[in-house]
């Protein structure tokens, strides 16, 4: 595993974390909060897991593979939920989650 491969995954995690946070805040401003309840919950969860994964990779944790596997699951769940909504912030979040899931999937396979 090269430092560049780690950095690409870290960057994907941080981009996803930021997209989830933007979606979270933007969703709270939408009119129909009940419709976005699961989206909001998953945004928070995914953002925190992505942040944790980036920190673990930065530290060179012995648990990178397992943490990245968890990040894949969180990102896939968040992408699936956000993908149901037509808001721009939801669509941007879903795309960032898909990219992060792919980067973490590759990291988990080689870590």
Token pair recorded at residue 107: 């990291």
Contacts of 39 by beta carbon, 8 Å cutoff, 6+ apart: 23, 27, 81, 82, 84, 85, 90
pLDDT of 4 above 90:
no
pLDDT in tens, 77-105: 999 999 999 999 999 999 999 999 999 99
Sign, CA torsion 42/20/51/95:
positive
Report the CATH fold assignment for 3-109: Substrate Binding Domain Of Dnak; Chain:A; Domain 2 (1.20.1270)
Q: Domains of the chain: which residue ranges?
A: 3-109
Average pLDDT of span 10-16: 98
CA distance 101 to 104: 5
CA distance 3 to 7: 6
pLDDT in tens, 26-37: 999 988 889 999
């Amino acid at each position: 595993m090269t430092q560049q491969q780690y950095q690409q995954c870290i960057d994907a995690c941080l981009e996803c974390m930021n997209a989830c946070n933007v979606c979270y805040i933007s969703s709270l401003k939408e009119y129909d909060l009940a419709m976005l309840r699961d989206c909001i919950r998953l945004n928070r969860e995914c953002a925190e897991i992505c942040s944790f994964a980036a920190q673990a990779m930065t530290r060179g944790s012995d648990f990178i593979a397992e943490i990245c596997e968890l990040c894949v699951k969180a990102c896939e769940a968040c992408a699936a939920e956000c993908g149901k909504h037509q808001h721009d912030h939801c669509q941007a979040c879903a795309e960032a989650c898909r990219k992060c899931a792919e980067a973490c999937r590759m990291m988990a396979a080689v870590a």
